[in-house]
Structure 1
Amino acid sequence: MVSGDAVAEVVKLTKASSGDLVMYGCGRLGQTLLEHGLVDVLNIWIHPVILGTGEAMFRSGARIGLRLDSVEERSTGVVSLSYVRKEPS
């Protein structure tokens, strides 16, 4: 669990660990980490269900360049997209 300054806590955790940090879901924390360059890989799963309503995945904010790294279709019809940060050109 992270409390207080999430960016500072995640920076501290990444420096103290040799493994990966994984966050499920998105929301405000995910976008904040993206905006601060703390996300190396973004995995998005698209489920073949139309709800007609719901929350936006991301709020308005800084434009973040991503590059599609892989696409996988699962037997359930779920499509898994993996994006990595786009290197500045």
Structure 2
Amino acid sequence: MATITAFQSISTGGVIQGLGRPDEDDRGGFVHGGWGQGYQDEISMSFAADGMSDEGALLFGRRTYEDLLGFWTTTSEPNPFTDVLVRTTKYVVSRSTDTTLEFPDSHLVAGDAVDEVRRLKERTSVPLTIMGSGELVRSLHAANLIDEYVLQIHPIVLGSGTQLFGTADRVDLELVRSVPTTTGVIIAHYVARR
């Protein structure tokens, strides 16, 4: 059975929306797009690169898959992420069986997210990492399907935006590792207590 890890960048106030670019996600009138810019440093980049070098597969919601891979495969700046994102097995959760996946080694997981991911988790043994995909994380969290959380907690309070957990039920987490960065971001790795 696979383990599922949610890898998320989050504000101190719990917001995950629109981290990367001003135009990334303005749903609901969100005006703080790009709030995560300026917080990367050598420590956070090394942590992310180490995590991406581990064996396993990526699990995305359709919107994040299209946005994240669309961005990293068209950027001209050298980075450690593009090759990993392209060559790693990707499972993409979508409500629609008509969803087209344009990047290599991408597999559609169509239907009800909780039911389909539960089946995927039972039939594979490779670790699955969710990057972004807040709606998917909230659904899987509510169904107790996420085993670990790696949160890059940014020292910023935004006051509005989509929150990672919303109104989720209580889940106790055990801190297994924490890494402070030079920009004030704390990378916290938690395991869900069951």
Question: What TM-score, normalized to structure 1?
Answer: 0.78
**What is the percent sequence identity of the aligned residues?**
37
The alignment covers a number of residue pairs equal to 87
Structure 1 segment 1-89 matched on structure 2, within 5 A: 1-3=92-94, 4-87=111-194
Tell which has more relative contact order, 1 or 2 (C-alpha 8 A, sep 6+). 2
More displaced, 2-11 or 69-78? Answer: 69-78
1:1-36 per-residue CA deviation (whole Å, 9 max, x = no partner) reads 112211111112112221111111252221221121
SS in 1 for 2:170: coil
Question: Which SS does the other structure have where 1:64 is aligned?
Answer: coil
Amino acid at match of 2:93: V
Alignment root-mean-square deviation, CA? 1.9
1:71 counterpart SS class: strand
- For residues 169 and 133 of structure 2, what CA distance do their matches in structure 1 show? 16
Q: Out of 72-81 and 13-22, give the one that drifted further.
A: 72-81
4+ runs deviating over 6 angstroms: none
**Distance of aligned partners of 1:43 and 1:52 in 2 relative to their CA distance in 1, 3 Å threshold:** same
Q: Tell me, yes or no, if the aligned pair for 2:138 and 2:165 is still in contact at 8 Å.
A: yes
Shift of 1:78: 2.2
**Structure 2: gaps (5+ residues):** 1-91, 95-110
Residues 67, 83 of structure 1: 8 Å contact kept = yes
Write the distance in 1 (CA, Å) between the matches of 2:133 and 2:172.
17
Residue 26 and residue 68 in structure 1: after superposition, are their counterparts in 2 closer, same or farther (change >3 A)?
A: farther
What secondary structure is seen at the aligned counterpart in 2 of 1:23? strand
> Which structure shows the bigger proportion of residues in helix conformation?
2
Q: Could you give the per-residue CA deviations for residues 37-67 of structure 1, whole angstroms, max 9, x where no partner exists?
A: 2111011101234545433222113212212
Residues 35 and 64 in structure 1, CA contact (< 8 A), matched pair in contact too: no
Which structure 1 segments of 5+ residues have no match?
Answer: none
